[in-house]
C-alpha cells in the first residue's frame, strides 16, 4: 500500500467512525485509527476557526465536522484523550486476520473507579478489638505506676541526701562554736598570767 493510498484509507475510516460512532476493522488498523480520531476530537474541543479548517483537511464530509464541533465539548467533557474503545471480536473468516470494533465513548460512559469498601466487622473481630484495647490500657496503667514508683524513690533518695547535708552543716556549726568557746578562756588565762608577771616585776624593783 502506498502512502497516499494509506492516508486516503484512514481519512475515510475516521470519517465513517465519527459519522456512525463505530466501525469494524482489523486490530492493527483500529489501533492506528484511534490516533487519528483522538487528534480530530481534540481539534473539535479546541473549537476555533483554525482547528475547524484542520479537521476539514482530514474528514471527508463537512456535516460530520460541524456536528462534531457542536457536540464535542458536551460529549467528551474536559478529558484529554481516551475517546475511543477497541473490542476484539476474534478472527475473520478467510484470512484469519484479528478483527475488532472501534467505537466512540462519551465522558458519561467511562467507568468510574469504585472505592474499596471496608470489610464488615464480625462479633469475633469486635471481641478481639476490645481485648486489644483492654490489654493496651492495662499496659499503660502498669507503665504509669512503675514510673510513679521510680519518681517516688528518686524523691525519697534526694530527701535523705538533703537531710544528711543538713546534719553535716549543723555538726560543723557546733564544732565552730565549741572552738570559739575554748579560745575565750585561753585568752583570759594569758591576760591573767601577764598581769601576775607584771606585779612580780614591780615588787622586785621595789625590793631593790
Summarize pLDDT for 20-42 with one digit per residue, the tens. 999 999 999 999 999 999 999 99
pLDDT: is 193 or 7 the higher one?
A: 7
Q: Tell which residue, 101, 122, 133, has the closest CA to residue 23.
A: 101
- Each domain of the chain, given as residue ranges in start order, spans 3-108, 120-208
State the Cα–Cα distance between residues 84 and 17, nearest whole angstrom: 10
pLDDT above 80 (res 150) = no
The answer to whether residues 37 and 17 touch, using CB atoms and an 8 Å cutoff, is yes
| Architecture of the domain defined by 3-108 | Alpha-Beta Complex (3.90)
Angstrom distance (rounded) from CA 76 to CA 205: 144
pTM: 0.51
CA distance from start to end of the chain:
166
All cell numbers assigned to 21: 460512532
Cell of 157: 533518695
C-alpha cell at 161: 541526701
Per-residue pLDDT tens for 55-69? 999 998 999 999 999
**pLDDT confidence tier of residue 194, bands split at 50, 70 and 90:** confident
| pLDDT range class, residue 113, cuts 50, 70, 90 | low
Alpha carbon distances (Å) from 100 to 27, 39, 86, 87, 92: 5, 20, 6, 5, 10
Mean pLDDT calculated for residue range 179-208: 65
DSSP H or E run through 47: none
SS3 of residue 48 by DSSP: coil
Amino acid at each position: 500500500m502506498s502512502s497516499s493510498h494509506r492516508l486516503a484509507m484512514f481519512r475515510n475510516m475516521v470519517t465513517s467512525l465519527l459519522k456512525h460512532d463505530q466501525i469494524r476493522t482489523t486490530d492493527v488498523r483500529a489501533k492506528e485509527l484511534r490516533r487519528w480520531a483522538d487528534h480530530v476530537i481534540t481539534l473539535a474541543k479546541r473549537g476555533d476557526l483554525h482547528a475547524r479548517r484542520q479537521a476539514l483537511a482530514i474528514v471527508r464530509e463537512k456535516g460530520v465536522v460541524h456536528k462534531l464541533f457542536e457536540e464535542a465539548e458536551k460529549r467528551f467533557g474536559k478529558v484529554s484523550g481516551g475517546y475511543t474503545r477497541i473490542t476484539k471480536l476474534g478472527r475473520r473468516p478467510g484470512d484469519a486476520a484479528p478483527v475488532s470494533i472501534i467505537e466512540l465513548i462519551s465522558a458519561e460512559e467511562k467507568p468510574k473507579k469504585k472505592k474499596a469498601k471496608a470489610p464488615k466487622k464480625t462479633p469475633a473481630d469486635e471481641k478481639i478489638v476490645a481485648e486489644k484495647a483492654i490489654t493496651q490500657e492495662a499496659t499503660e496503667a502498669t507503665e504509669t505506676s512503675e514510673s510513679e514508683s521510680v519518681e517516688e524513690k528518686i524523691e525519697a533518695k534526694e530527701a535523705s541526701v538533703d537531710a544528711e547535708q543538713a546534719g553535716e552543716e549543723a555538726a560543723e556549726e557546733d564544732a565552730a562554736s565549741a572552738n570559739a568557746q575554748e579560745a575565750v578562756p585561753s585568752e583570759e588565762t594569758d591576760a591573767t598570767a601577764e598581769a601576775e608577771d607584771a606585779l612580780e616585776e614591780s615588787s622586785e624593783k621595789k625590793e631593790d
